[in-house]
């Protein structure tokens, strides 16, 4: 039986995580290890300054006390799986909200998949685009069908990417019958507005809330090959992501500049 490890950055109670388990359970043995609380935008952070503790919620369902998505993957592979019996696939999600463009560099969802491929395990990050503030009554049917088909294909035919590469999937917020298909995309450009909002507490002390700027889809001028463009046009976006951050095209110009 195939072994599948799933996590997220929205926390163990997220409906997206439970939808992911429902979608993947027919394909093999699914283990859930998720953060005990929401860890959105935590990036690839790993906890090195305090101990971590698994809290068992059910058979093959754990929350990691104050752990990050990266902690969940790293510690699961070293503590819950025996050598020689590692997962065949790691899936992170279903995130409530998109992870496109520069979002990927902040995303705990994407970072869990990143951690997976660092351990040479095929990995997918999947996110459900949120274009309004209604977190409830989410229809995950398109996301569930997409991840089931992707996972089945990987488990049967192998992973289509190179080492240290993972799949970043974004699902448009539309009924399943309105989806036009799947597009292989590149990361677009995320337009961040003023995300630092100043407030004062009753004592007059200043504090800030970050990340309150809405994602304005109508103000984008994206390449047709971008993840944003695909989702805006009712396609599922699948972007291959590599962990090699080297700006290879700049290496020779940099060498020339250094030698001047």
Q: What is the DSSP string of 179-192?
A: ---EEE-B------
Cα–Cα distance between 196 and 249 in angstroms, integer? 34
For residue 126, pLDDT beyond 60: yes
Q: What is the pLDDT of residue 227?
A: 94
Distance CA 187, CA 14 (A): 26
Query: What pLDDT sits at residue 25?
Result: 98
pLDDT digits (tens, 9 = 90+) for 209-230: 876 555 655 555 568 899 999 9
Q: How far apart are CA 241 and CA 117, in angstroms?
A: 11
Is residue 231 scored above 70 in pLDDT? Answer: yes
Model pLDDT, residue 83:
83
**What is the separation of C-alpha 161 from the centre of its chain, rounded to a whole number of angstroms?**
17
pTM here? 0.92
Of 120, 118, 72, 65, nearest to 93 by C-alpha is 72
Neighbours of 77 (CB within 10 A): 20
* Pairing, β 196-200 against β 206-210: antiparallel
Torsion sign (Cα): 181, 185, 99, 117: positive
Say what the pLDDT of residue 130 is. Answer: 82
Nearest-angstrom CA–CA distance, 66 and 223: 39
Block residue for tokens 């660092």: 118
pLDDT value at residue 89: 99
In angstroms, the CA 108 to CA 64 distance is 14
DSSP string, 48-111: -SS---EEEEETTEEEETT--HHHHHHHHHHHTS-TT---SEEEEEEEES---TTHHHH-HHHH
pLDDT at 134 > cutoff 80: no
Q: Which of 171, 126, 160 is nearest to 7 (CA)?
A: 126
Each domain of the chain, given as residue ranges in start order, spans 3-189+221-259
Fold of the 3-189+221-259 domain: Stationary-phase Survival Protein Sure Homolog; Chain: A, (3.40.1210)
Q: Kindly state the average pLDDT of the residues 50-61.
A: 95
- In terms of Cα–Cα distance, which of 119, 169, 167 is closest to 16? 169
Contact of 51 with 84, CB cutoff 8 Å: no
DSSP 229-245: HHHHTT-EEEEEEES--
């Amino acid at each position: 039986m195939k072994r599948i490890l799933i996590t997220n950055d929205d926390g163990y109670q997220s409906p997206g995580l439970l939808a992911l388990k429902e979608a993947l359970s027919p394909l093999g043995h699914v283990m859930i290890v998720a953060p005990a609380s929401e860890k959105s935008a935590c990036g690839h952070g790993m906890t090195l300054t305090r101990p971590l503790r698994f809290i068992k919620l059910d058979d093959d369902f754990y929350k990691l006390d104050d752990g990050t998505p990266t902690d969940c993957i790293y510690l699961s592979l070293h503590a819950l799986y025996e050598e020689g019996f590692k997962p065949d696939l790691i899936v992170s999600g279903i995130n409530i909200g998109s992870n496109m463009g520069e979002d990927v560099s902040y995303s705990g969802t994407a970072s869990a998949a990143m951690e997976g491929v660092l351990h040479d395990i095929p990995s997918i990050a999947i996110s459900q685009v949120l274009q309004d503030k209604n977190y409830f009554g989410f229809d995950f049917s398109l996301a569930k069908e997409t991840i089931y088909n992707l996972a089945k294909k990987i488990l049967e035919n192998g992973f289509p990417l190179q080492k240290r590469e993972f799949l970043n999937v974004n699902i448009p917020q539309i009924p399943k019958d309105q989806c036009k298909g799947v597009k292989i995309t590149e990361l677009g450009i995320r337009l961040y507005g003023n995300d630092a909002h100043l407030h004062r507490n009753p004592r007059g002390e200043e504090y800030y809330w970050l990340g309150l700027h809405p994602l304005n889809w109508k103000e984008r001028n994206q390449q047709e090959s971008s993840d944003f463009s695909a989702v805006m046009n009712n396609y599922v976006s699948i972007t291959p992501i590599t962990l090699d951050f080297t700006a290879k095209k700049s290496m020779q110009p940099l060498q020339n500049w250094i030698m001047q």
